[in-house]
A and B are shown apart, each in its own frame.
Chain A
Amino acid sequence: MPAIEVTDLRKRYGQVDALAGLTMTVGRGEVFGFLGPNGAGKTTTVKLLLGLARPTSGTGKVLGAPMGDLATRRKIGYLPELFRYQQWLKAREVLTLHGELIGLPRARRGAAADEALKIVGLADRANDVVGKFSKGMQQRLGLGAALLGEPALIVLDEPTSALDPVGRVDVRGIVRAAADRGAAVFLNSHLLSEVEQVCDRVAIIDHGRVVASGELDDVLGQAETKVRVDGISPSDLPAFERFGTPTIEGDTLAIRPMDAAQVPDLVAILVGMGAKVYEVRAGRSSLEHRFLDLVARDRPPAGTPSAERLR
């Protein structure tokens, strides 16, 4: 039984399709990266999975039960994108409250709260009032709440948006540890590096539908070649189109996708044109390029008002 299984999920807000037929499966014990630009439908998906919003059509199961099932939510930890907790409560009290809400026995709530605070690095601030916390600390607290009671599914919506680099590394460790324990982690993010470093599988979502999904290697599969070169201009680019799509990035000519076997031919052409070749790197494109390839195709130019859409 997968942790999440949704089929043709649709959500319409007025005239806007926030989700336009989302189909995906997330297995148990895997870290699943859900990537997309702002307004792609990531948070809408999370809200549907948790029952905070209802789909216009389509079906979905979470941990084997219909989306939003009350009893199943006991086994789901959730860090909202807009993380905010009772400002007048102490950090430990927030977690014991959430322990109570998920039905932890009274005797275990304190210990569970302390354990979660320790994991997220807030053990020494347990008795401080949340209102005095920085945003980053509040996000850590939210992560602690999401980890309470060893949930079978942990849904993290942009979990490092307020964290410093140290915090981001911590979160990666926490996510991996949860997955090692057997929990499925649904990581909603637009931070590609975060997803690249921690996820087993990814789905890239745009305009409310999945445009690519699979194991990280499959999604990234595209090979590319980068040549640090002097002496070529944009007008020379058509000469390289037989290898792939060429672009000039500063002092580097990048061609994607491009089979590494063609590198000697490319270098021969460059030398023939009189260009000076300093370095040639053949490898895989970064998730960033793949992401841009997938989501930028039909996007209006930056700065166009219609680029902003409903979340």
Chain B
Amino acid sequence: MIAIAKLTIGEAARRRVLWVLVILALVAVGLSAWGVWALVDAARADPNIGDYIPLLVSQILILIAFMFGFVLVMTAAFFGAPAIAAELESGIAQAMLARPLRRASYLLGRWLGLAVVIVAYAVFSGLLAIGAVGLVSGYVPPNPILPVAFLAGQALILLSLTVLLSTRLSPIAGGAIAVVAFGLAWVAGVLGKIGLAIGSTTLVSISDAVRYILPTDAFWQGVVYGLEPSIVINSVGDEVLARSSPFFASSPPSAAILAWSVIWTVLVLALAVNQLRRREL
């Protein structure tokens, strides 16, 4: 398994797409820091806004995180979707699986290698963005590791789903399904928040159900919560409009949903191994 994981990391490192993503992250962070600096500069000049700088900056950070989160999820989908399918189609997998290599080791090695790449990219881009914005604005989230961990977790959930799809579907089909499922889960999360704000138990139930089917939105809630200053959480109170916003979270995801996410990942990977084992190569 470790041999396959190392091979997968090596493959990603030698592919241009990863370095393009790194360069894009640097450009995005540079531009964001410049924008935040301009905003903070203008706000400091206005005594009416000056007090709200952490609020403003945190909202921009959440938007930046939203962008990086989306990039990470897409990266997970487009690295994960061909992980097994493309190697089976080309015959690369057959040459290796005729060796004393268990199909489970092969699949989990592919997943692990991609997981390392995605987490590394999440940590690099996330901490870079938070650090750069902190440098120009003075605002650093209370625990900067937390939102980065949730960003990475969201991508890992989607990676696991795409690896599962990759055991049966073509790369394009698997990638497309995973991205659509992610979008639907995100929308379900927003609807759940609206349901909570307006007191619709049906909406909340639907949203909760979707969270258990694909728990990515719980991680997005964690990202938002982790980037907010406490002043925002306390000041919003019961304001319906704010509480229903996907860019606001009054609490971190529950321990139950986080525990479920771990179980979900194990189950999905077990199912993926089972699918690959049953497949005729």
Contacts and interface: CB of A to CB of B under 8 A. Distances in A.
B101 interface: yes
Interface in B193-225: none
Interface string A47-84: 10011111000000000000000110110101010111
A155 B206 CA distance: 55
A101 interface: yes
A142 interface: yes
B96 interface: yes
Q: Is the interface of B mostly helix, strand, loop or mixed?
A: helix
Contact of A70 (B7, B92, B102): B102
Contacts of A86: 7, 11, 92
B273 to A, nearest CB: 15
27 contacts: A47-B280, A47-B281, A52-B97, A52-B98, A52-B281, A54-B280, A73-B99, A74-B100, A76-B98, A78-B95, A82-B90, A82-B94, A83-B91, A83-B95, A84-B90, A84-B95, A85-B95, A86-B7, A86-B92, A97-B3, A98-B99, A100-B3, A101-B3, A101-B101, A102-B99, A103-B100, A142-B95
B100 A84 contact: no
B173 to A, nearest CB: 21
Contacts of A73: 98-100
Contacts of A145: 95
Given A52-B280, A53-B281, A80-B91, A88 B11 contact: yes
Contacts of B99: 73-74, 98, 101-102
B19 to A, nearest CB: 13
Tier of interface size on chain B: 20 to 34
Contacts of B280: 47, 52-54
B92 A97 contact: no
Tier of interface size on chain A: 20 to 34
Interface string B76-116: 00000000000000111011111111100000000000000
Nearest to A47: B281
B7 A88 contact: no
Interface in B1-25: 3, 7, 10-11, 14-15
Contacts of A82: 90-91, 94
B11 to A, nearest CB: 6
Contacts of B90: 82, 84
B15 A88 contact: yes
Nearest to A79: B95
Interface in B113-146: none
> Could you say which of B10, B14, B94, B95 has the most chain A C-beta atoms within 10 Å of its C-beta?
B95
Given A52-B281, A53-B281, A88-B14, A101 B100 contact: yes
A73 to B, nearest CB: 4
